Structure 1
Amino acid sequence: MKNTHLLWMLVPVLLAACRKEQKTIPETVTQVGAADTGALKRMYVLNEGNMGSNKASLDYLDLQTGQYHQDIYEQANPTVVKGLGDVGNDLGVYGSKLFIVVNNSNKVEVVNANTVKQIGQINIQNCRNVIFNNGKDYVSAYLGIVGDPKAPNGAVYEIDTASLQITRKVTVGRQPEELAIVNNKLYVANSGGYSPPNYERTVSVVDLNSFTEIKRIDVAINLEKLKPDGYGNLYVTSRGDYYTIPPDLYVIDTKTDSVKKDFKLPVSNLVISGDTAYMYAVAFSYTTGQNTISYSMIDVKTETVLNKQYITDGTQQQIKVPYGIAVNPVTHEVYVTDAKNYVTPGTLYSFGTDGKKKWSVTTGDIPGHFTFLYNSKH
């Protein structure tokens, strides 16, 4: 009993010592797959973390060892106050740098792509998505305060990837989301998501030389995802209004900058690899209070829906809320994340080319965004 009493007296002292040393939570490492010494080094997974919880986190799959490393940013940067920040919204590798868009912290965090040690940050209010081109980093931003129906039009910022300085800014539509670059033109999906039912319904077209908006393409309400194929087309998703207008998928011809096809197919997110688009839909309805979940594939060369699935073993029944999707450009494995209830750790699934689950692993909260780091030897 005396020893127990002494132990409890020492606990506050030990806790105080830990706080002073700013010890980090040890990263979790899980063996999930086989080693691959090919062109790819890592796949980074950005976990959004619930808004206001300051729980954005970064994981990575080491493709050369088959190990999954969870919560690595704080491990690499133990003295950074508040860690990665609030709501990780997008990320991408350019050269030796990894750019991480942290939406509600109003910043783009820049770290070394190999060590994940902080290099710097770019402050951009309500930043959303990122894309790269010719030494520049382009970031879309809502501007205004989250939830403000009177928020101003959004913008895209051009950032020099070497100096990390903002070089130019162009105004686009309200609440811009994903971006794509085709033939020296920057395309921006405008959502208007702050002001239902008065949603935006256009894709802004920005000339990269003059960095001015030269056109808006009328598509559909509440646009979000924007993916180029290899044939000069853009695939853009509409989230609908969550009541009577369902989510949908459209194709834009960048030669004419006009809509060429409406698939009339619910799509929430997609990734295009080669001639195939891999997609899922989480169609939420305020009328029913439920999600309708579906998975589909498209041949982008023929622009036809394929009569097959990329998950063939029934694992989709275990996925409560699909939230992110990626395709390994070398092995063609398909990765799908499950956000579950949005407040607890999610799950990352890997599926082989036969559609069968290869493995699954626990992630941070709301895993949704991917980028690949290539081996410098290739």
Structure 2
Amino acid sequence: MKLKNLYLGILASAFLFTSCSNNDSDDNNPAGVYDNGVFILNEGNFGTPNASVSFLSNDLSVFQDDIFNAVNATAVLGDVAQSMSFFGDKAFIVVNNSNEVRVVNRYTFENLGVITEKLENPRYSVVLEGKLYVTNAISKAVTVYNANTYEYIASIALDKTDERIVAANGKLYVMNGAYGSGNQVTVINPLTNTVATTITVEEGINSIEAAGNMVYVLCGNSDKSKLFKINTTTDIATSFESTTLKDSYNMDIDGSKIYYTSGVGVYVMDLNAASFSETALLTVADNNYSTFYGFAAIDGRIYTADASGFTADGVVTVYNDKGVVLKSVNVGRGPNGFYDNN
């Protein structure tokens, strides 16, 4: 359902012109109408420019669907909203099949511009030292842009799958795998825009997260699940595995906890754990590939998304850290990610 009711219209009008250029806002002093909440990225149907972004407030009382269209009535977000990253008061939305990165104000969602140069099926992005790094599936390169002016700077050829990307300890770590295939992480030196080293992990690499000076990589296949911890000072990885849990897929880090999925279950372990937890915190209904199409752990809550087979609106469910349902909302087609906007 699309909740664009009178209450939300009044709320948006009240805050639309309030803005701030930093991330230090709080609930009492919001930087804009879309501060203090979570963005839900809905990729839309492939080949159809119906990507959208939904917003859910931290207190779960305010939900608004398709906020890009609500704020920018004459603009179209595009075809397949793949991922999002932040820099100051900007949000960079990678629109995969449109071959562009849409730039908006993260607090008002006002359209600020679009990046298209050298993008070939872009996937994920991260900002480091004022530069935007974008992975590209077709060119198999990471393209670099000025995060303030959006100007193209360089391309870093990897000549292999480049998917999710994170920054840690002044370096970039790129996941060389997608759709259950791949077993490497490429480390990039951003000072020279060159590959520093390649780290081999387990076949089935699917998630990568940075926390402090460590990078965590989750791999899952039909035989096992394996977690790698990369020391970003030495780029040496240690690991542990479970042959009971197989095909672990999604991973997110929230505070001192690692949350991950396997089958229809959500599991949690400590950041410094030396073994997997094999007891599910919660389980969801199995809906084929739509199950856990989006997943995140944010501020002690677990966010899951069911894509509903891309034939109907996706469904997002929010749980507390005990696995109790707090909220369920219908969003756009193909919800694939959650982004904390605080």
TM-score of the aligned structures, taking structure 1 as reference length? 0.75
Number of equivalenced pairs? 314
Q: 1:228 aligns with which of 210, 226, 246?
A: 210
Whole-Å separation in 2 of the counterparts to 1:246 and 1:303: 16
How far residue 245 of structure 1 moved from its aligned partner, in angstroms, is: 5.9
Question: Is the aligned partner of 1:217 residue 2:187?
Answer: no
Query: Could you say which residue in structure 2 is the equivalent of 1:361?
Result: 329
Structure 2's unaligned 5+ residue stretches are 8-25
Whole-Å separation in 2 of the counterparts to 1:74 and 1:102: 15
Question: Is the aligned partner of 1:299 residue 2:270?
Answer: yes
The answer as to whether partners of 2:265 and 2:280 remain within 8 angstroms in 1 is no
The 3 A distance-change label for structure 1 pair 29 and 161 is: farther
Q: 1:184 aligns with which of 152, 165, 170?
A: 170
Whole-Å separation in 1 of the counterparts to 2:265 and 2:226: 12
Query: Could you say which residue in structure 1 is the equivalent of 2:292?
Result: 322
Query: Could you say which residue in structure 2 is the equivalent of 1:174?
Result: 160
Whole-Å separation in 1 of the counterparts to 2:55 and 2:320: 19
Whole-Å separation in 2 of the counterparts to 1:130 and 1:190: 14
The answer as to whether partners of 1:327 and 1:335 remain within 8 angstroms in 2 is yes
The 3 A distance-change label for structure 1 pair 365 and 354 is: same
How far residue 49 of structure 1 moved from its aligned partner, in angstroms, is: 1.4
Whole-Å separation in 1 of the counterparts to 2:42 and 2:280: 26
Whole-Å separation in 1 of the counterparts to 2:321 and 2:196: 41
The answer as to whether partners of 2:99 and 2:121 remain within 8 angstroms in 1 is yes
Q: Alignment partner of 1:214: what SS?
A: strand
Q: Which amino acid aligns with 1:181?
A: A
Report the structure number with the largest CA radius of gyration. 1
String of CA shifts for 1:151-182, please: whole Å, max 9, x gaps. Answer: xxx11122211101122221124221111212
Query: Could you say which residue in structure 1 is the equivalent of 2:314?
Result: 346
How far residue 303 of structure 1 moved from its aligned partner, in angstroms, is: 3.0
Query: Could you say which residue in structure 2 is the equivalent of 1:90?
Result: 83
Q: Which amino acid aligns with 1:279?
A: Y
How far residue 248 of structure 1 moved from its aligned partner, in angstroms, is: 4.6
Whole-Å separation in 2 of the counterparts to 1:29 and 1:252: 47
Pairing of 1:96-111 with structure 2 (within 5 A): 96-111=89-104
Query: Could you say which residue in structure 1 is the equivalent of 2:22?
Result: none
The 3 A distance-change label for structure 1 pair 169 and 368 is: same
Q: 1:157 aligns with which of 143, 146, 157?
A: 143
Q: Alignment partner of 2:285: what SS?
A: helix
Q: Alignment partner of 1:345: what SS?
A: coil
Query: Could you say which residue in structure 1 is the equivalent of 2:16?
Result: none
String of CA shifts for 1:162-220, please: whole Å, max 9, x gaps. Answer: 10112222112422111121211111011276xx9xx5432111112112101111113
Q: Which amino acid aligns with 1:214?
A: A
Q: Alignment partner of 1:28: what SS?
A: coil
How far residue 70 of structure 1 moved from its aligned partner, in angstroms, is: 0.5
How far residue 115 of structure 1 moved from its aligned partner, in angstroms, is: 2.0
Q: Alignment partner of 2:97: what SS?
A: helix
Q: Which moved more, 1:52-61 or 1:318-327?
A: 318-327
Q: Which amino acid aligns with 1:298?
A: M
How far residue 95 of structure 1 moved from its aligned partner, in angstroms, is: 1.1
Whole-Å separation in 2 of the counterparts to 1:41 and 1:59: 14
Pairing of 1:1-378 with structure 2 (within 5 A): 28=4, 37=27, 41-63=36-58, 66-80=61-75, 83-123=76-116, 124-144=119-139, 154-191=140-177, 200-230=182-212, 232-238=213-219, 240=221, 248-264=226-242, 265=245, 266-281=247-262, 292-306=263-277, 308-311=279-282, 316-317=284-285, 321-329=291-299, 332-374=300-342
Whole-Å separation in 2 of the counterparts to 1:273 and 1:228: 11
The answer as to whether partners of 1:174 and 1:192 remain within 8 angstroms in 2 is no
TM-score of the aligned structures, taking structure 2 as reference length? 0.82
Q: Which amino acid aligns with 1:47?
A: N
Q: Which amino acid aligns with 1:118?
A: N
String of CA shifts for 1:324-364, please: whole Å, max 9, x gaps. Answer: 222233xx121111122233211111111322101100011
Over the residues paired in the alignment, what is the CA RMSD in angstroms?
2.9
Query: Could you say which residue in structure 1 is the equivalent of 2:12?
Result: none
The answer as to whether partners of 1:158 and 1:167 remain within 8 angstroms in 2 is yes
Structure 1's unaligned 5+ residue stretches are 1-24, 145-153, 282-291
Whole-Å separation in 1 of the counterparts to 2:219 and 2:160: 15
Q: Which amino acid aligns with 1:96?
A: D
- Structure 1 segments, 4+ long, off by >4 Å, are 244-248
Q: Which amino acid aligns with 1:156?
A: V
Q: Alignment partner of 2:264: what SS?
A: strand
Q: Which moved more, 1:217-226 or 1:109-118?
A: 217-226
